Amino acid sequence: MHLSIFLLIGLIIALIVLIASFFKHWNVPLILIALAIGIIFGSDVTGIIYFDNAELTKQITDIALMFILFAGGYETKIKDLKNILKPALLLSSIGVLLTGVICALLFSLIFKWDFLHSLLLSAIISSTDASAIFSILRGSNIDKQTTSLIKLESATNDPMAIIFTTFLIQLFQGYNFNTFSTILIFLWLFIGGIAIGILIGVLSKIIIKKIKDLDAGYYHLLIIGIIFFSFGIAELCNANGLMAVFFTGLILGNTKLPYNNRIAAFTDTLSFITNVIIYVLLGLLALPSKFPEIYLYGIGLFLILTLVARPVSVFLLTAFTKLSIQKKTFISWSGIRGTVPIVLATYPLIAGLDPNHQMFNIIFIAVILSIVVQGSTLNKIANLLKLGTKKRKNVLNSMELVTVHDTDVELIEIFIDDELYSGECLIADLNLPPNSTITMINRNNEVIAPSGQTVILPGDILYVLVEKNNIDMAIDEILSNFEKIT
């Protein structure tokens, strides 16, 4: 039995990689491939794996989302949040409610469902999904301000969707509820999660800086501990653990830490792997044999949400911001649904309100359409709206200055953009600031050990050891030896 499990896991992983490699040129999101593999191996298609435990799925996805959100926070720069914090938080709170209500009104009108059932369905799918968005936007060349807003919104809108959904389920079950206490619960989930995340991030920063002379592996282990600790403390305090984890990652990612690049690569890898696990599990949980009965509802829900409810909410809540029409349009289109709506769709199942899996399957179809249609077209839409930025040259060989002590020296990376500069120069001809050294040149992903007679060419990536106060001077000196292309 154990052998068959290991064989199945190995087969699933191998298939995902092979299929991803085959569809790479078609820009098919990896999470969609993982989802399809889960459906194929599930009890409703081949029957190779029988899995119908919605509660276990929720627990596993919570753990996986911790790593995904931490990695998202770690790679987000605080300076990028300066002008988008207010609209992002508006969209993640009021925007979720507004999207749900608009969607419910239209769905009940078109499909003749009663309003409360339509509202529950819409509440479940009202939040954008961090796992899908972080996965699809990874490595994209889209305007930083816009992607930062989308990521922050997706990382912080789960509490409102969770409260919205559980509130309606309690209403169906006849629970007594108090509107004021519900608002207080939401505020604590939201604000408490942020505050705890920042606090754990600051404390972790202090602890990491106090630790000396450890190998990189220990820092990786410590990061995992910090992720679990941040989530656990927030949940213990009845705040939102996922939001806490994101802000812990945000604080640490904006701090100069030992092995900073290795930690970033490690968290990115964890995020990548857990994304795959989530969507394989969700695929196993699906019941495609029921899809023919409700596929029109799923398509309708997706179209109402994507073409009406989400755009109306975005344009209303960003009406008084400086965001351009193009950015608002792109934010509207990037409201991708993924893990969280499917997990929330298990809540009515667990509560006995969806015995035939009707709501779950409608949500499932809408989410698949969202990932396929929106996820695979994000870059094309960005380019169409002129929000694409120049793609960074891919570097296979890089260096990192690793030190556990405070230092005034930085190892910086300078790209001689061959679309902006022409000409060449000898290293010996450079008048670099004192105590500055070019340590390595990456040319077409080949490493060159530089000497005074080495020629620097457009397209080269230089790694320069320089004092912090002289960084701008070193960059200006190197670039000034090339002619600007006009």
Structure confidence by residue, pLDDT tens digits, 387-443 = 876 555 555 555 566 665 666 788 888 989 887 889 999 999 999 999 899 999 999
What pLDDT score was predicted for residue 330?
95
Q: Are residues 360 and 440 in the same domain?
A: no
CB-side exposure of 38: number of CA atoms within 13 Å? 24
| C-alpha–C-alpha distance, residues 167 and 96, integer Å | 14
Q: Would you say residue 389 lies in a domain?
A: no
The DSSP call for residue 307 is I
Question: Collapsing DSSP states into helix, strand and coil, what is residue 456?
Answer: strand
Residue 311's pLDDT is what?
97
* 328 and 445 share one domain: no
Say if residue 98 is in the same domain as residue 153.
yes
Is residue 327's pLDDT more than 80? yes
Q: Is residue 398 part of a domain?
A: no
User: Are residue 284 and residue 164 in the same domain, yes or no?
Assistant: yes
Quick one: which of 283, 242, 240, 250 has its CA closest to 130? 242
How many H-runs (helices) and E-runs (strands) does the chain carry?
21, 8
Say how many Å lie between the first and final Cα of the chain, rounded: 67
Q: Are 303 and 428 part of one and the same domain? A: no
341 and 475 together in one domain: no
For residue 316, what are its two tokens? 């209303």
- In whole angstroms, give the CA distance from residue 301 to residue 125: 9
Position 261 in a domain: yes
Q: How far apart are CA 29 and CA 40, in angstroms?
A: 17
Query: What burial class does residue 462 get, using C-beta atoms within 10 Å of its C-beta: 0-12 exposed, 13-18 middle, 19+ buried?
Result: buried
Positions of E strands within 380-480: 409-415, 421-422, 425-426, 437-443, 446-448, 455-456, 461-467
Domain membership of residue 403 (yes or no) is no
Using a CB cutoff of 8 Å and minimum separation of 24, what contacts does 378-382 make?
Answer: 378/136, 378/137, 378/140, 378/142, 378/333, 378/334, 379/27, 379/140, 379/141, 379/142, 381/330, 381/333, 382/140, 382/142, 382/143, 382/330
% of the chain with per-residue pLDDT over 90: 38
260 and 367 belong to one structural domain = yes
Q: Which two tokens stand for residue 327?
A: 């950015």
Same domain, residue pair 422 and 375: no
Q: What does the pLDDT read at residue 174?
A: 74
Question: If pLDDT is split at 50, 70 and 90, which confidence band does 252 have?
Answer: very high
d(CA 278, CA 64): 7
Looking at the structure, tell me whether residues 140 and 258 fall in a common domain: yes
User: Is the same domain home to 314 and 448?
Assistant: no
d(CA 145, CA 299): 31
**Which of these, 18, 41, 16, lies nearest to 30 by C-alpha position?**
16
Please tell me the predicted confidence (pLDDT) of residue 217: 82
| 184 and 217 both lie in a single domain | yes
Orientation of helix 260-285 relative to helix 2-22, angle to 10°: 110
8 A C-beta contact, residue 430 and residue 477 = yes
Q: How many distinct structural domains can be found in the chain? A: 2
CATH number at residue 429: 3.30.70.1450
Residue 219 and residue 337 in one domain: yes
- Name the average pLDDT for the chain: 86
Residue 220 domain-assigned (yes or no)? yes
Residue 50 lies in a domain: yes
Domain that holds residue 28: 2-384
